[in-house]
Amino acid sequence: MNTKKPNTKLLDLNPQQMKAANWDKGPVLIIAGAGTGKTRVLVNRVAKLVEKGVEPQKVLLLTFTRRAASEMLDKASIILGGDKNRIKKVSGGTFHSFANKILRKNAQKINISNDYTILDRIDSADVIDLVREKLKISKKDKRFPFKKTLEKIINISMNKKISYGQLIEEDYPHFIAQIDDINKIAEKYQSYKLNNNLIDYNDLLIYLKKILKQYPQIADYYSYIMVDEYQDTNKIQGEITYLLAKKHRNVMVVGDDTQSIYSFRGANFKNMFDFKEKFFPDVKIIKLEENYRSTQPILDMANGIIDNAIEKYTKVLFTKNKRGDIPELIYANDEENQAEKILEKILDLHKRGVNLNDISVLFRASYQAIPLEIQLKKNGINYVKHGGFKFFETSHIKDIMAYFKVIQNPKDEVSWYRILLLLRGIGEVTCKKILKNILKYPNPFAKIKTFMPKNKKIRNLSNTLSLMASKKTTPKEKMHNLLTYYNPILIDKFDDFPKRKEDLLQLESIIEQYSNLNDFLTDMLLEPPSNSNSNGLYVNENYSKKNTLCLSTIHSAKGLEWHTVFVIDMAEGRFPISYYLNSIESEEEERRLFYVACTRAKEKLYITYPATIRGTLSNKSTFLKEIQHLLKSDTSDTPMYLEI
DNA sequence: TGTAGAATCGTTTTT
DNA sequence: CGATTCTACA
């Protein structure tokens, strides 16, 4: 199916790329626009370093997702003539997974036990709620923030390094009256984590930094540091990069300030400039501006989007690929009509030989794809949906994970709560009573029986957990047993249990690949294997290779490319999304997001605009109005009342 | 004390 | 729209 010759293409570099790929020592910042071959540069550099005889494990490649790292390493091994073994030893992954790797080995050095449990966002929220209750801060008397909101406040303020008070005043003024309570909860949350051996996403980075600072020899193990997507790193990740390279200064960071789209997570593209100003004043800067992906008309439009930005960016893309179709604007009456028109277009393209794999539909927020998903299902078209709602954050999956977490850490109060409250006849009060009695035992699973109201299902819980805790059973057997136990609960708890049952079976097939429970739990938290499809099902890599259309949030489409791209819902309020548009910076980020979306297209780009949304007339997105002269409009059946 | 059903909240993006 | 929280009742 793939007719490309990857090795010749991989080795084919322009002078700028060559300069970057052959970079030997010293700090270098590569400013690489969309589609300018930065992956190719990194891949070649890794291959060259290894070829030169650098020990592969001393090369550290930090990327945004694990998938990005493993794809790059695969390509590097092709360059080296399929020498997978050497390349495989290259150290790589996300900042978080790298932090975890270092901490599991060295946490004791900073007085943290290395068998900590990692909390995801939902776990953190649960812990925060627990802490709130322990502090006897009621959420009833006054309007008090939800646990999810509290988690967000605590998380963001850590990420951006500002105080809770400041953040609340800026972004949550309606909670100003509760600042004292929130402060208390946040403080107690920190100490609770320390006392209970829990670590959240931020802690991973904070502790990594602490270790690297106190024990520079750990950093010095790595002799070449490379960081991809540097525009989407946050302050602490920038500092970590510096600490890693402080001694030998062999550090290459690659980024594109026009593609910075993760500031909500604390990322700051100014890190790219800080790299020079704060850390490495003598850094060499290499710019990659020749685009190999898109046609000139598509680039014209993309450049047009960015030209209107307030912030002036550092480069302008160009291509030798002059010819191509002008991007097209498609009008629709409403969301359903928009979906119909997209479907029509896709079927037409398909008829003319474009594979569904080469088409993607991109949107700002995942719910915007729902009308289209309905159309696709109706017409029996395969699709995968990336981004948005996470398989591992659905409540039935969290339920299952709670049992495993209790096995791993019998003192995990939050998971105990979750498990016990699932049982009929046990409410909060009984639950607390039970926990008070069992938490002191190192192996409480058999003890539960004693403290429970006499009830058949509850005896099963004790048996199930004991069986799961047994060292003799494999993770798969544990899972199988658990599912037998959980099935009646599932049916009782959810109306849509058949769908969710599918998910659990998928989870079972994932756990099959693990022999070690800890690895399974860590991977599920730091590197979940994939996103969900329309049914919330886990989708494995093979599935996405079939003739399948891709629907994706723009965030999840980062770094990818397709022959044809649709960017939908270009109406004010939908894109830029209005709910949180509260500052110039956030509007600028929305603009960059639109830019990222359009630069995914190689040959054809369609922008769609529904004239009404939920029955009311909508306005064209500002971003669309700005660049409309660079588009071709499909006026054949434009609604009469539209001004064009 | 526990539960079921009603009301309500907050609605993006993700390691 | 789906999870969380509240309310009323057993």
A435 touches strand B (CB under 7 A): no
CA atoms within 13 A on the CB side of A137: 22
Instruction: Say if residues A296 and A322 touch (Cβ distance below 8 Å).
Output: yes
Give A254 or A506, the one with higher predicted confidence. Answer: A254
In SS3 terms, A299-311 reads as HHHHHHHHHCCCC
Window A376-405, strand B contacts by Cβ < 7 Å? 386-390
Measured CA A451 to C1' B4 distance, in angstroms: 26
- Amino acid residing at A353: G
Q: Which helix (H) or strand (E) holds A169?
A: helix A164-171
User: CA quadruple A144, A145, A147, A151: dihedral positive or negative?
Assistant: negative
In SS3 terms, A19-53 reads as HHHCCCCCCEEEEECCCCCHHHHHHHHHHHHHHHC
Measured CA A480 to C1' C7 distance, in angstroms: 39
- pLDDT > 80? residue A114: yes
- DSSP label at A546? S
Chain B: positions less than 7 Å from a protein CB are 1-4, 9-15
d(C-alpha A639, C-alpha A334), whole Å: 10
- Amino acid residing at A563: H
A489 touches strand B (CB under 7 A): no
Phi then psi for A529, rounded to 5 degrees?
A: -60, -35
Phi then psi for A468, rounded to 5 degrees?
A: -70, -35
Give A289 or A314, the one with higher predicted confidence. Answer: A289
Which position has the token pair 């080995």? Answer: A105
What is the mean pLDDT of the segment spanning A232-241?
93
Q: How confident is the model at residue A290 (pLDDT cuts 50, 70, 90)?
A: very high
Chain C: positions less than 7 Å from a protein CB are 1, 3-7
Give the residue with minimal CA–C1' separation from B11: A579
pLDDT digits (tens, 9 = 90+) for A334-369: 888 999 999 999 999 999 999 999 999 999 988 888
d(C-alpha A154, C-alpha A183), whole Å: 9
Coil, strand or helix at A548: coil
Give A160 or A199, the one with higher predicted confidence. Answer: A199
Question: What residues contact residue A19 under an 8 Å CB cut-off, 6+ apart?
Answer: A286
- pTM here? 0.88
- DSSP label at A465? H
d(C-alpha A321, C-alpha A38), whole Å: 18
Q: How much is the mean pLDDT over chain A?
A: 85
Q: What angle do CA A36, A527, A480 make, to 5 degrees?
A: 145
Rg for chain A (alpha carbons), in Å?
26
What the block records as the tokens of A385 is 């949906």
pLDDT digits (tens, 9 = 90+) for A494-544: 877 887 888 888 888 888 888 888 888 888 888 766 543 333 333 444 444
d(C-alpha A372, C-alpha A335), whole Å: 8
Nucleotide nearest to A145 (CA to C1'): B9
Q: How many CB atoms lie within 10 A of CB A308?
A: 12
What the block records as the tokens of A541 is 């890599």
- DSSP label at A515? S
Name the most confidently modeled range: A77-81, A219-223, A376-380: A219-223
d(C-alpha A587, C-alpha A298), whole Å: 22
Question: Taking the mean position of all CA atoms in its chain, how far away is CA A415?
Answer: 24
d(C-alpha A353, C-alpha A349), whole Å: 6
Q: Determine the pLDDT at residue A637.
A: 52
Q: How confident is the model at residue A391 (pLDDT cuts 50, 70, 90)?
A: confident
Coil, strand or helix at A261: coil
The set of long-range contacts for A418-421, using a CB threshold of 8 Å and a minimum separation of 24, is A418/A126, A419/A461
Closest CA to A367 of A482, A587, A534, A121: A534
d(C-alpha A308, C-alpha A258), whole Å: 12
- DSSP label at A572? T
Q: Determine the pLDDT at residue A538.
A: 37
Ranking A31-35, A146-150, A600-604 by mean pLDDT, the lowest is A146-150
Measured CA A394 to C1' B5 distance, in angstroms: 22
Q: How confident is the model at residue A70 (pLDDT cuts 50, 70, 90)?
A: confident
Q: A364 to each of A209, A218, A545, A586, how far by Cα in Å?
A: 33, 41, 24, 14
Q: How many CB atoms lie within 10 A of CB A347?
A: 13
Q: Which helix (H) or strand (E) holds A562?
A: strand A562-567
pLDDT digits (tens, 9 = 90+) for A542-586: 444 568 898 988 998 888 899 999 999 999 888 888 766 667 778
Q: How confident is the model at residue A455 (pLDDT cuts 50, 70, 90)?
A: low
Nucleotide nearest to A124 (CA to C1'): B15
Nucleotide nearest to A496 (CA to C1'): C2
d(C-alpha A406, C-alpha A435), whole Å: 12
Helices (H), A494-516: 497-511
d(C-alpha A631, C-alpha A607), whole Å: 9
- pLDDT > 80? residue A110: yes
Which position has the token pair 């949304």? Answer: A613
Q: Determine the pLDDT at residue A206.
A: 94
Closest CA to A245 of A229, A230, A225: A225
Over pLDDT 70: what percentage of chain A? Answer: 91
Give A506 or A477, the one with higher predicted confidence. Answer: A477
pLDDT digits (tens, 9 = 90+) for A18-61: 999 999 999 999 999 999 999 899 999 999 999 899 999 999 99
Nucleotide nearest to A125 (CA to C1'): C4
Measured CA A425 to C1' C10 distance, in angstroms: 13
